[in-house]
A and B are shown apart, each in its own frame.
Chain A
Amino acid sequence: MTAIIRAEHVAKIFRQQVRRSGMLGPLKDFVMPVTRPVNAVDGISFDIEPGEAVGYLGPNGAGKSTMIKMLTGILAPSAGTVSVLGRNPQAQRVLNARQIGVVFGQRTQLWWELPLIESFELHRRMYRVPASVYQRNRADLVEMMELSAFIERPVRHLSLGQRMRAEIAMALMHDPKILFLDEPTIGLDVVAKDVVRKFLSRINRERGTTIILTTHDLQDIEEICPRLIMVDDGKLLFDGTIAALRVTFGARRRLTLEFAQDPGHVELDRAEPAGGEGVQRLFLLPDDQRPLLHILSALKAGADLRDVRLHEPGIEEIIRTHYQSKVSA
């Protein structure tokens, strides 16, 4: 299959104005502005196949929104190329716009003063959605996102959660092939996040809509996206499945053993002792797929094992470890 989204050595350099201090600072800034380059995106390449759901993850300022803006035709890359559905999204902005859906978690595309349904109607006209398709999609989306209770209400009266559900529904009204979401769950409560996640994952499965979403919330990715792209400081850190992330970043499972009485010296094959004393002992297990029973069978026959706990690190933990190691390096 050919890629539906392709980024090749993409870079984006912004020029940020440096503000000077002192009494004459503002005057100098106006007459002779000094700028400094910011490498928001720095040589990133990836391919995304139709039907994939990809999470784009990174700390603040990592360049996530900038990448989304280049893929949706808002900005042109400073170097490299992006291609979406085989097109240059900025050169063919309007054609591209008809086939993608975009949701910005931090801003609205709904018509503030008018009832929600009017925004949908405007969307239908703007994207030239055939009446039958629109009727079907609207009925489906309103039901899935439970919008019927407030569809007649002006958007300004909706809660953030209701509004975000409406935004996402609207972005799908024209059957886009790709849905881009920039922090769709930001500011939502646990319940609303859950609704959005379940919905996106269902749309991805049932309609085959390709999804690419940026987020700070790793749970979004764990629940929606089998594939994860991690960036920091404009650079690609990781691209692959969450399982592969564990291997890449050497995330080890932690095994806790609890004995009835102090077993003395305990040794497990290829497991690194990680503290604990007396009846409780900790080990770090390498990511080598060995079954737990196999590992435990190495224990001395007389050891009176009371409890065994195995802790799988979540991606949050993996990433935190990674960032911490970067800061201390």
Chain B
Amino acid sequence: MRDTLSLLFYLMRLRVRTRLEFRAALLITWLAQAFGYAGIFASIWLILTRFGTIGGWTWPQMAFLLGFHTLGYALGACFTLVQLRRMEDIVLGGEFDTLLVRPLNPWAYLVFSGFNIEYGGHIALGAGLVAWAWPQLSIAWTTDTCLLLAGGLVSAALITASMITIIAACALVLGRARYLFGIYFDFWELSRYPASIFAAPFQVALLSIIPLGYMAYVPVAVLLGRPVPYLGAFAEIAALSAGPLSAVAAFFFWRFCLKRYQGGGG
């Protein structure tokens, strides 16, 4: 176990080193990402200056939500997205076969050897927004709120990693997964707004089978003391357990698909 952990950590360091060899490229990626998000956030800010609120959320509240969403997402995606988005090619190109002949769990190999510091830009932006908004929202610094903030972020990271894993696992069986990533990102974009602004069936979906509502909306609403539809008093516990539950689901789904893996041809 300790050997395996140190091996996974070593894989991560190797990947970081590879990335650092192209420092200029990395810097540009960071900036490009930060500007991309800043553009989207600025347009939301503009809407808020004009209309005052979105579904009753003011700009500082909205900024907190966006920051939380970006941060939670980046924490999960830095371990998963860039490499697992390629899963289709990994399977069809036979790279997955080469992982299966190594004495290591192929998912762990992919996740750690693909650890991506390009998410530094996201993390700085998300943390910055949260840090800026928190004092303006007069949320108390109590153990409870701190736990919810940290736990909610971990949960969001787990949701992200789990959903990406589940989609990637489809490639093991179907040989295809790219279009599913497209669908995931459509929902993901919506999940940066308060779920309460959407139609009821959509809200239900975001709080159940597509648990993206727990990415940011539910934990942030609880921190802000806003009511959460359908969940009520269970909102906090739901926010904290959504991540671990998705992880369990992803674990079993990955295993299910791996058992049915039939090779990538050739």
Residue of A nearest to B94 (CB): A107
> With the chains together, A126 CA to B8 CA distance in Å?
9
Binds A, one of B28-36, B77-85, B97-105, B232-240: B97-105
Contact digits for B228-266, partner A, Cβ 8 Å, 1 yes 0 no = 000000000000000000000000000000000111001
A118 within 8 A of B: yes
> With the chains together, A111 CA to B93 CA distance in Å?
16
- Please give, as numbers and ranges, the residues of chain B lying within 8 Å of A111 by CB-CB distance: 14, 18
Contact B14 A97, beta carbon cutoff 8 Å:
no
- Please give, as numbers and ranges, the residues of chain B lying within 8 Å of A122 by CB-CB distance: 10-11, 14
A69 within 8 A of B: yes
> With the chains together, A65 CA to B262 CA distance in Å?
13
A126 with B101, Cβ < 8 A, contacts A74-B263, A113-B18 known: no
Pick the residue among A104, A114, A128 that contacts B18 (CB under 8 A). A114
Contact A97 B266, beta carbon cutoff 8 Å:
no
Contact A69 B103, beta carbon cutoff 8 Å:
no
> With the chains together, A98 CA to B18 CA distance in Å?
27
The interface size of chain A toward B, counting residues with CB under 8 Å, comes to 30
Min CB distance B8 to A, Å, is: 10
Contact B3 A100, beta carbon cutoff 8 Å:
no
- Please give, as numbers and ranges, the residues of chain A lying within 8 Å of B104 by CB-CB distance: 94, 126
A102 within 8 A of B: yes
> With the chains together, A108 CA to B11 CA distance in Å?
17
Q: For window 98-150 of chain A, which residues contact chain B by CB distance below 8 Å? A: 98, 100, 102, 104, 106-109, 111, 113-114, 118, 122, 125-128
Contact A125 B10, beta carbon cutoff 8 Å:
yes
A93 within 8 A of B: yes
Total inter-chain residue pairs, C-beta < 8 Å: 62
Contact A65 B266, beta carbon cutoff 8 Å:
yes
A73 with B101, Cβ < 8 A, contacts A14-B262, A111-B14, A122-B14 known: yes
Contact digits for A61-88, partner B, Cβ 8 Å, 1 yes 0 no = 0000110010011110000000000000
Pick the residue among A106, A107, A126 that contacts B102 (CB under 8 A). A126
Residue of A nearest to B93 (CB): A107
B7 within 8 A of A: yes
Q: For window 86-123 of chain B, which residues contact chain A by CB distance below 8 Å? A: 93-95, 97-98, 100-104
Min CB distance A44 to B, Å, is: 17
Contact B266 A94, beta carbon cutoff 8 Å:
no
B21 within 8 A of A: yes
The interface size of chain B toward A, counting residues with CB under 8 Å, comes to 23
Contact A125 B98, beta carbon cutoff 8 Å:
no
- Please give, as numbers and ranges, the residues of chain B lying within 8 Å of A97 by CB-CB distance: 101-103
Min CB distance B48 to A, Å, is: 42
Contact B263 A107, beta carbon cutoff 8 Å:
no
Contact A69 B97, beta carbon cutoff 8 Å:
yes
Contact A125 B7, beta carbon cutoff 8 Å:
yes
Contact digits for A209-243, partner B, Cβ 8 Å, 1 yes 0 no = 00000000000000000000000000000000000
Q: For window 148-164 of chain B, which residues contact chain A by CB distance below 8 Å? A: none
Contact digits for A229-261, partner B, Cβ 8 Å, 1 yes 0 no = 000000000000000000000000000000000
Contact A104 B94, beta carbon cutoff 8 Å:
yes
Contact B100 A93, beta carbon cutoff 8 Å:
yes
- Please give, as numbers and ranges, the residues of chain A lying within 8 Å of B98 by CB-CB distance: 102, 104, 107-109
Contact A113 B94, beta carbon cutoff 8 Å:
no
Q: For window 192-221 of chain B, which residues contact chain A by CB distance below 8 Å? A: none
Contact B3 A128, beta carbon cutoff 8 Å:
yes
Min CB distance A215 to B, Å, is: 15
Contact digits for B1-45, partner A, Cβ 8 Å, 1 yes 0 no = 001001100110010011001000000000000000000000000
- Please give, as numbers and ranges, the residues of chain A lying within 8 Å of B101 by CB-CB distance: 72-74, 97, 100, 102
Residue of A nearest to B104 (CB): A126
> With the chains together, A296 CA to B86 CA distance in Å?
69
Min CB distance A123 to B, Å, is: 9
- Please give, as numbers and ranges, the residues of chain A lying within 8 Å of B102 by CB-CB distance: 97, 109, 126
Contact A75 B263, beta carbon cutoff 8 Å:
yes
- Please give, as numbers and ranges, the residues of chain A lying within 8 Å of B10 by CB-CB distance: 122, 125
Q: For window 139-188 of chain A, which residues contact chain B by CB distance below 8 Å? A: none
- Please give, as numbers and ranges, the residues of chain A lying within 8 Å of B18 by CB-CB distance: 111, 113-114
Residue of A nearest to B113 (CB): A111
CB-defined A-B contacts under 8 Å, sample of 24: A14-B263, A69-B263, A73-B100, A73-B101, A74-B101, A75-B262, A94-B103, A97-B101, A104-B94, A104-B98, A106-B266, A107-B94, A107-B95, A108-B98, A109-B98, A109-B102, A111-B14, A113-B21, A114-B17, A122-B10, A122-B11, A125-B7, A126-B102, A128-B3
Enumerate the 8 nearest inter-chain pairs by beta-carbon distance, A residue then B residue, closest first: A97-B103, A102-B101, A113-B18, A74-B100, A98-B103, A94-B103, A72-B101, A107-B94
Beyond A65-B266, A74-B263, A97-B103, list 8 extra A-B contacts (CB 8 Å). Answer: A97-B102, A107-B94, A118-B14, A122-B10, A122-B11, A125-B7, A126-B7, A128-B3
